[in-house]
Amino acid sequence: MLALWCARLSVDRWRLGLGPEHACAPGEGADAEPTALITETAHGPRIAAVNHAGRAAGVAVGTMLADARTVCPEVRTAPADPAGDLAFLEKLALWARRWGPWSALDAPDGVLVDVTAVAHLFGGEARLLADVETACTTRGLAVRSAIAPTAGAAWALAHYGPVRSIARPEDDLLARLAELPVAALRLDDDVLTVLRRLGLKRLGELAGVAGSGADGESEAASRDAIQRRFRNRKSPAANPLIRLDQLLGRVPEPLLPVAARAMPLVQRRLVEPIRHRDLLDRVLADLAQDMARELEGRGEGARRLEIGLWRVDGEVIVRRLELAAATRDPDHVIRLFGRKLDDVDAGFGVETVRLTASWTEPLALEQGDIEQSAQQRGTSLAACIDRLTVRLGAEAVRRPVPRASHLPERATGWQGPLEPVPPAQGLLEFHQRPLKLLDRPERIAVLYASPDGFPQRFRWRGQVREVARVEGPERIAPEWWRERSSARLRDYYRIEDDAGRRYWIYRHGIAGDGRGKDREGHAPDWFLQGLCT
């Protein structure tokens, strides 16, 4: 197995993502300044990765940013991207198959490649490792690599062994790895802490206790002792004996290969470049038909489509289309792309047109007659939403959904039109809400007979309204699991003025509750939040 460890994956991705104007080599330009990648936690930003300059200045991974600034006030920060790192690692695993028939992820920063019987194609293991480091360095990645008969041994040598380590099948793995620390077994931190307390710091020490010494009887007793100590740990990362047996090849270690999934793609290379829209529409119609047959063979439908136009001057024009539901209807795709291509400048002509489905979902086959009758009855909801989205924009087509909150401004959210509605508790019968809620409650001045009495008159947007009828209050307590203990309750009233207009107002707090502004002697505030019919 070939183990490839990207020791500074997050920092390398941050440096490569600076853009062409700030592009720099490791340790140069922006990377020469102390920089830390941070993640937001409940206790504040925490450092997830740091470059060489920051590490030299005393910034350590895992510390809080406030503590790191006391050591290095000039440290620069950037947000960490664990999901992006994992996506990049998946692409790296596919790319690493150039050195072997299959590869597997070793998250969060490594890749394992099966190089069985392929080293001679590169001139031997040493040249294979040299090619690995050269190729990765060209891509701007700092890597350490090693080859060993087992995945565990290759991982241990890549992380803790000499540079470009090679362990062959005829080697004594236990003797070769005896001086490596027990952390080379890929164990959890709490297990490493227990082993350190037991005085086991090297693999040789652990292996001697675990059963490779001369005295078989004492070895078996020691192995039983460790087995009893970790008998409840079934995970390999929590049991040092399992990891040791995997490293030595005594028990198999299953790995999950990364499989590339081909993206549905159809294209046309044109004999003569086209410049006119009617010819482009004809090519698009042919590609849509081809894409429909491609998706039908897979039993899938497209959720996202991309069309690329290669001009003769080398410029590429890309238009994307995201659909509300999976479909492979060519007429629907042609109709939607028709609006997307109105502003295309063909220049001296388009010589290649490519249509790809970058996001697909399973879509069962449909019977032709039933589909035809459905089309005769009218446009489907998904097709209607797609047309509205293309015309108005993706953010303009949303649907309101209930949220788990009894505060009016939090009780409703927005999501995609065809996304499943999350389960929520229905409103009770006495929960009467106005048809129109303001984006945010507006402060009003209210005159009332007593601090806890009904409002008699209020001023809103410069006009005074006389209250004719009042209904309420409906008391809504603050959400103690989200807000501070000083948050005040609300008393909602439905009122009607002398002109027949109805409003939904609330009093923020009650006099004498000892919360909020009541501590400073202020009267409760009033707000208008909705308009009733």
pLDDT exceeds cutoff 60 at 377: no
pLDDT exceeds cutoff 70 at 503: yes
For the chain, the average pLDDT equals 85
Q: Which residues are 527's β-sheet partners?
A: 443, 506
Give me the mean pLDDT over the 96-116 stretch. Answer: 92
The per-residue pLDDT for 384 is: 83
Which segment of 109-123, 279-293, 387-401 scores lowest on mean pLDDT?
A: 387-401
- For residue 338, the surrounding DSSP H or E stretch is helix 330-340
CA nearest to 307, candidates 277, 344, 348: 344
pLDDT exceeds cutoff 80 at 374: no
Which segment of 365-374, 481-490, 511-520 scores lowest on mean pLDDT?
A: 365-374
pLDDT exceeds cutoff 70 at 302: yes
- Other CB atoms within a 10 A radius of the CB of residue 78 amount to 16
User: How many Å apart are CA 406 and CA 413, to the nearest integer?
Assistant: 13
pLDDT exceeds cutoff 90 at 144: yes
Give me the mean pLDDT over the 115-141 stretch. Answer: 92
- pLDDT tens by residue, 336-354: 888 888 888 888 889 999 9
In this prediction, residue 150 has a pLDDT band, given cuts at 50, 70 and 90, of very high
User: How many Å apart are CA 245 and CA 212, to the nearest integer?
Assistant: 11
Which segment of 87-91, 356-360, 419-423 scores lowest on mean pLDDT?
A: 419-423
In this prediction, residue 378 has a pLDDT band, given cuts at 50, 70 and 90, of low
Helix axes 240-248, 151-160, angle to 10 degrees: 100
Tokens of 164: 């470009």
- For residue 254, the surrounding DSSP H or E stretch is none
pLDDT exceeds cutoff 90 at 149: yes
Which segment of 2-16, 287-301, 515-529 scores lowest on mean pLDDT?
A: 515-529
Give me the mean pLDDT over the 438-465 stretch. Answer: 84
Helix axes 277-298, 330-340, angle to 10 degrees: 140
How many CA within 13 A on the CB side of residue 60? 6
pLDDT exceeds cutoff 70 at 102: yes
CA nearest to 187, candidates 147, 227, 156, 219: 156
In this prediction, residue 5 has a pLDDT band, given cuts at 50, 70 and 90, of very high
* Strands (E) located in 186-259: none
Give me the mean pLDDT over the 266-283 stretch. Answer: 90
468 and 496 in contact (C-beta within 8 Å)? yes
74 and 66 in contact (C-beta within 8 Å)? no
User: How many Å apart are CA 224 and CA 201, to the nearest integer?
Assistant: 19
The per-residue pLDDT for 218 is: 58
- pLDDT tens by residue, 65-82: 889 999 988 989 999 999
User: How many Å apart are CA 391 and CA 102, to the nearest integer?
Assistant: 45
The per-residue pLDDT for 195 is: 87
User: Coil, strand or helix: which one is 500?
Assistant: coil
- pLDDT tens by residue, 25-55: 777 888 888 999 999 887 788 999 999 999 9
> Distance of alpha carbon 532 from its chain centroid, rounded?
41
184 and 160 in contact (C-beta within 8 Å)? yes
CA nearest to 383, candidates 334, 332, 340, 337: 332
User: Coil, strand or helix: which one is 121?
Assistant: helix
**Who has greater pLDDT, 224 or 78?**
78
Burial tier of 400 (Cβ tally within 10 Å: 0-12, 13-18, 19+): exposed
Q: What is the DSSP string of 427-455?
A: PPTT----SEEEEEEEEEEEEESSTTS-E
37 and 78 in contact (C-beta within 8 Å)? yes
- Other CB atoms within a 10 A radius of the CB of residue 393 amount to 9
Tokens of 473: 């209050």
In this prediction, residue 126 has a pLDDT band, given cuts at 50, 70 and 90, of very high
* Strands (E) located in 338-431: 350-362, 399-402, 412-415
pLDDT exceeds cutoff 70 at 219: no
